[in-house]
């Protein structure tokens, strides 16, 4: 696969062509301005193999619009929902659950989509690959990402299921419980992976949720192969403990052979190595990837390499309103620091800062310019 993709890198339009960001943009959706690859400052002290990248991070994920409502614990229990996790649901269940939910707001989401929005808000240059339908929600998703400055050129599906939505129930403790109808995401396949785009990015970031739709695994493998052939790094988020259960063997193989940077929370890393002991799971993953960033909610995070261990404290939050996107935004901050060549503890602190912003309000996309927050915290 590597030789095939290495060939195809030389074909097609240059990834720097801003008009490419307009491809496949449906009505009432596009951003009329050319997408600008913003950069707060020139890259500093990055490793030589990453020095020629024109994009910091390309994220690949399920393109989803969130439908967010408050709910009480009794509702979760009655509907047999496991708090803090993600369940896949079909269209019928989505309709039924929506009927039962309280008043909601709609906001673009998707794990890697949130991460790329966060990265752009920090001033990083990002691109996104994901599949929407050419419907109203697909237009909303595309608008929100491109308006944030993220390049998003994957064509919308013109037939088949509608744009994916995630019904999110936020309980009084700020925890979120996700119910995802994958919709058009099932159409994402290897043909949607733009080799030039992958080769042009310092980091290709893959969300673990992408293992759920059938063809996306092939897209996943193709992207990782292209990235490595171009001398780039591959990052993976484990996404959800149930997702890890569904794909443990595949994830284990990826981590051992294809992933340079791994993001996981306690439940996910423990699920991967089938242990309830976080320290044991952390010891197991150490050295299997170049960098493991393990998040621990209020206890902050632990950044591990073969030779280093950096505990990072959580950033203070006045009131936790909605934890949706906390992991996604931690990854955004961490990757932003990494692609700027900042030390690993600083990467973790930027991650904590971004996570703190996102959990202080409803929704998983930043409401404040994260670049300003980072500058105020002396982390820019």
Binding site for a copy of itself (CB under 8 A): 27-28, 30-33, 69-70, 94-96, 98-108, 117, 135-137, 140, 143-145, 147-148, 361-363, 365, 367
Give the C-alpha separation, 324 to 108, whole Å. Answer: 12
Return the ∠ at Cα 366 (arms to 363 and 372), rounded to 5°: 155
As measured in angstroms, the least distance from the Cβ of 172 to a copy of itself is 10
As measured in angstroms, the least distance from the Cβ of 106 to a copy of itself is 4
Contact present, 63 and 111 (Cβ < 8 Å) = no
Between 101 and 380, whose beta carbon lies closer to a copy of itself? 101
Between 2 and 372, whose beta carbon lies closer to a copy of itself? 372
Between 295 and 324, whose beta carbon lies closer to a copy of itself? 324
Between 137 and 261, whose beta carbon lies closer to a copy of itself? 137
Between 277 and 376, whose beta carbon lies closer to a copy of itself? 376
Contact present, 73 and 217 (Cβ < 8 Å) = no
Q: Dihedrals φ, ψ of 205, to 5°?
A: -105, 120
DSSP code string of 134-184: SSHHHHHHHHHHHHTT-EE-PPPBSSSSPPEEEEEEE-TTS-EEEEEE-GG
Query: Taking the CA atoms of the chain, what radius of gyration do you get in angstroms?
Result: 19
As measured in angstroms, the least distance from the Cβ of 69 to a copy of itself is 8
As measured in angstroms, the least distance from the Cβ of 94 to a copy of itself is 8
Contact present, 56 and 336 (Cβ < 8 Å) = yes
As measured in angstroms, the least distance from the Cβ of 241 to a copy of itself is 28
Give the C-alpha separation, 340 to 225, whole Å. Answer: 24
Between 142 and 232, whose beta carbon lies closer to a copy of itself? 142
As measured in angstroms, the least distance from the Cβ of 291 to a copy of itself is 29
* Cα–Cα distance list, 237 to 34, 67, 178 (Å): 30, 22, 17
3-state secondary structure of 129: strand
As measured in angstroms, the least distance from the Cβ of 174 to a copy of itself is 12
Between 106 and 299, whose beta carbon lies closer to a copy of itself? 106
């Amino acid at each position: 696969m590597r030789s095939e993709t290495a060939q195809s890198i030389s074909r097609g339009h240059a990834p720097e062509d801003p008009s490419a960001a307009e491809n496949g943009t449906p009505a009432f959706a596009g951003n009329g301005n050319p997408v600008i690859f913003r950069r707060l400052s020139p890259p500093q002290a990055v490793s030589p193999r990453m020095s020629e990248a024109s994009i910091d991070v390309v994220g690949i994920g399920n393109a989803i619009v969130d439908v967010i409502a408050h709910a009480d614990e009794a509702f979760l229990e009655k509907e047999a929902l496991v708090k803090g996790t993600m369940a896949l649901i079909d269209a019928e269940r989505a309709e039924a659950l929506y009927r039962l939910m309280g008043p909601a707001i709609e906001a673009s989401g998707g794990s890697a989509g949130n991460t790329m929005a966060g990265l752009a808000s920090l001033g990083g240059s990002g691109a996104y690959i994901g599949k929407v339908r050419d419907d109203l929600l697909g237009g909303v998703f595309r608008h929100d990402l491109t308006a944030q400055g993220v390049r998003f050129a994957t064509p919308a599906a013109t037939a088949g299921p509608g744009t994916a939505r995630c019904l999110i129930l936020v309980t009084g403790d700020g925890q979120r419980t996700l119910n995802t109808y994958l919709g058009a995401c099932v159409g994402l396949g290897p043909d949607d992976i733009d080799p030039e785009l992958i080769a042009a990015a310092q980091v290709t970031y893959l969300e673990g949720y992408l293992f759920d739709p059938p063809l996306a695994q092939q897209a996943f493998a193709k992207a990782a192969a292209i990235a490595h052939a171009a001398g780039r790094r591959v990052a993976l988020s484990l996404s959800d403990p149930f997702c890890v259960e569904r794909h443990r063997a595949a994830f284990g193989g990826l981590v051992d052979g294809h992933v340079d940077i791994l993001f996981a929370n306690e439940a996910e890393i423990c699920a991967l190595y089938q242990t309830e002991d976080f320290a044991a799971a952390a010891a197991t993953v150490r050295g299997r990837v170049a960098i493991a960033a393990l998040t621990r909610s209020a206890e902050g995070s632990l950044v591990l390499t073969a030779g280093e261990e950096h505990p990072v404290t959580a950033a203070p939050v006045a009131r936790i309103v909605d934890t949706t996107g906390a992991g996604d935004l931690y990854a955004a901050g961490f990757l932003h620091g990494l692609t700027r060549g900042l030390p690993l503890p600083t990467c973790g602190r930027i991650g904590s800062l971004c996570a703190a912003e996102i959990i202080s309000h409803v929704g998983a996309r930043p409401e404040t310019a994260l670049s300003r927050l980072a500058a105020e915290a002396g982390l820019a």
